[in-house]
Amino acid sequence: MNTRVRDVMARTFRVPPESISAESAPADIPGWDSQGHLELIMALEAAFGVELELREVTQMRSQAEIEAVLRRHAVEV
């Protein structure tokens, strides 16, 4: 599990980092609704210097899926 991804998620959703696991999904994290998802995407793009495509954004439903998408952008996770 990548701590950078987890830290971005924790800051975005204002939850403790240790409350996020690789399997954490929108139903598990308060604030991970449609608006929260957009905020997360913007935070990830800024933190990792990537531009995510719509199809990628819709795939990102857990920390593990976020890391998989970032790896495809050659981001070290």
> What is the rounded average pLDDT of the residues 7-20?
97
Mean pLDDT, range 12-26, rounded to an integer: 95
Instruction: Give the pTM.
Output: 0.92
22-58 CB burial, b ≥16 within 10 A, e <16: eebebeebeebeeebbebbbebbeebbebebeeebee
In tens, the pLDDT along 25-55 reads: 999 999 999 999 999 999 999 999 999 999 9
Domains of the chain plus CATH, in order, are 3-72 (1.10.1200.10)
